[in-house]
Structure 1
């Protein structure tokens, strides 16, 4: 599997971020071709300190080539362009191969 992780910084208006993400952005991003699995959630901490990011989204593809094709597609470009509409805390993208899994 090949994973794209998007770390969203803390937004200026968390309620607006949550609403836009679920009602507008997810339907756009859900059209990216080649997606095998999606997972996302708000960040938390175990020690009570504020987490470094507000929300993490993980998008899984069968291969790096599939990820490149998905994000290079019209649907992938639309999803990327939409990030600026709600991610007031910024967003960082990380690309990684799933080299190790357990179990």
Structure 2
């Protein structure tokens, strides 16, 4: 299993971010080809430092499936949609799921 993780900084308008993200962006991202499952959350800080405002994780069978999804027409639409709710952008990372 391979995981794409997206971390969003605190927006200037948290309510507008949440409304657009939940109602429009997540449903669009859910149509990524070969997506096994996904989830999102608005985490709270635990300890020093800042928590991201929002986190999204998408799971694919492997890195090749993730790369194909991101390079697809839907993947390009998902990426192009980010400035509509997060003008500060996002940080993306990915990794192979290890362990149990």
Q: TM-score, normalised by structure 1?
A: 0.89
Cα separation, partners in 2 of 1:50 and 1:43, compared to 1, 3 Å: farther
Stretches (4+) displaced over 4 A: none
Partner of 1:54 in structure 2?
53
Q: d(CA) in 2 for partners of 1:97 and 1:12?
A: 33
| 1:17-36 matches, cutoff 5 A | 17-36=17-36
Q: 1:39–1:57: 8 Å Cα contact kept in structure 2? A: yes
Number of aligned residues? 100
Q: d(CA) in 1 for partners of 2:88 and 2:11?
A: 4
Aligned with 1:35: secondary structure? coil
Q: TM-score, normalised by structure 2?
A: 0.92
Aligned with 1:40: secondary structure? strand
Q: d(CA) in 2 for partners of 1:89 and 1:50?
A: 19
Q: 2:45–2:51: 8 Å Cα contact kept in structure 1? A: no
The unaligned stretches of length 5 or more in structure 1 are: none
Q: 1:43–1:51: 8 Å Cα contact kept in structure 2? A: no
